[in-house]
Amino acid sequence: MILTVLEIVAPVFLVIIIGYTSVCLKVIDGTVGTGITKFAQQIALPCLLFINISEIDLSHSSPIGMLLSFYIGATICMLLGTSAAYFIFKLSAIDSVVLGFCALFSNALLLGLPITDRAFADNNLFGNYSIIAIHAPFCYLLGITMMELAAIEKNSFNKIIKKIFKNIISNALFIGIAVGLIFNFTGLKLPIYLKEPVILLSSAAIPAALFGLGIVLFQYEFADNFKEIAVIAIISLIFHPLIVYLLATRTFEVSTDNLNSAVITAAMAPGVNAYLFSVLYQRESSLITSTVLFSTFLAIFTSSAWLIFMGATGDKI
């Protein structure tokens, strides 16, 4: 069982490590990471989301219970992270919210999707795509709301909401999801000469994104605040999936496939969006990047433990 789990998890994280090491050893220039990341985020990943969402069976069991379990858990984790930063580590209210946002935002797309895919096969990905579809809007709106409640400049709330809403609807990933849903609902099909290039691009999405993530992580400077980093990592990697599991099995009716998707996605490390949120408010960026870096490597072990707990079979290996 342990060997099976290592076969599931290791390839995903090894691609990140290869990207990280390639810059460390100066095999490639670190600036290449920007181009790779843009290709993945602006072209390949939208193609992946479009092609899968356009063809996914939406008659699958309702994801409502799963989504409630996942996002109630995420909200609780943000409150835990914010409270720990404010009451235990004595950070300001604004800095505490930034740290809480890091505990909120799991890397659902780059880590959660490929690991769930390898562990439970294609028929389990409906839940993943349901989570991904509303992940950024939910997390950013919750983070901004809490930030504005903590900030002095109350008048900036509407302006920032409009800015984030504009950024979300113009985001390539959001467009890929939206167009995929339109094709799914209407039954539209791409002609074969267009579908094949989209499939080719989508096949490069996860490897390119993971490799680029490794390059980006190398550029982060590790902060000295290890206690804060460790607490947020524990909340994100252990408390979030635990809360999701308890809610999905004790409170809501959630199918086995959707339960697997929700728990494994919740068990992923914080995404790069946590860093982008800190940059938006120009607060604790070094601490957040260190937390993302530490959590990503720690997730190699914690995600393996969760896969064992959930009985992963590695059907696609």
The CATH number given to whatever domain includes residue 199 is 1.20.1530.20
Q: What pLDDT, in 10s, does the model give residues 257-312?
A: 999 999 999 999 998 889 888 888 888 988 998 999 999 999 999 999 999 999 87
Whether residue 315 is contained in a domain is answered as no
Q: In the prediction, which pLDDT does 262 show?
A: 97
Whether residue 111 is contained in a domain is answered as yes
Instruction: Specify the range with the lowest mean pLDDT, choosing from 24-28, 178-182, 215-219, 283-287.
Output: 215-219
Whether residue 161 is contained in a domain is answered as yes
pTM of the model: 0.90
Whether residue 317 is contained in a domain is answered as no
Q: Which residues form the domain of 85?
A: 2-309
Contacts of 314 (CB under 8 A, 6+ apart): 4, 5, 7, 8, 118, 119
> Tell me, what amino acid is at 80?
L
Query: Between 162 and 17, where is the model more confident?
Result: 17
Whether residue 183 is contained in a domain is answered as yes
Q: What pLDDT, in 10s, does the model give residues 48-85?
A: 999 999 988 877 767 999 999 999 999 999 999 999 99
Whether residue 314 is contained in a domain is answered as no
Q: What percent of the chain has pLDDT over 70?
A: 92
| Residue 203 exposed, middle or buried by CB count within 10 Å (0-12, 13-18, 19+) | middle
Q: What average pLDDT score do residues 137-154 get?
A: 81
Whether residue 295 is contained in a domain is answered as yes
Alpha carbon separation from 282 to 161, 164, 201, 276, 286 (Å, rounded): 17, 16, 34, 9, 10
Query: Between 206 and 121, where is the model more confident?
Result: 206
Total number of domains constituting the chain: 1
Whether residue 232 is contained in a domain is answered as yes
Query: Between 29 and 302, where is the model more confident?
Result: 302
Distance from C-alpha of 102 to C-alpha of 221, rounded to nearest angstrom: 17
- Report whether 269 contacts 12 (CB < 8 A): no
Q: In the prediction, which pLDDT does 208 show?
A: 94
Report whether pLDDT(35) > 70: yes
- Band (224; pLDDT cuts 50, 70, 90): confident
Q: How many CB atoms lie within 10 A of CB 57?
A: 8
Q: In the prediction, which pLDDT does 280 show?
A: 81
Distance from C-alpha of 295 to C-alpha of 99, rounded to nearest angstrom: 13
Instruction: Specify the range with the lowest mean pLDDT, choosing from 95-104, 171-180, 199-208, 215-224.
Output: 215-224
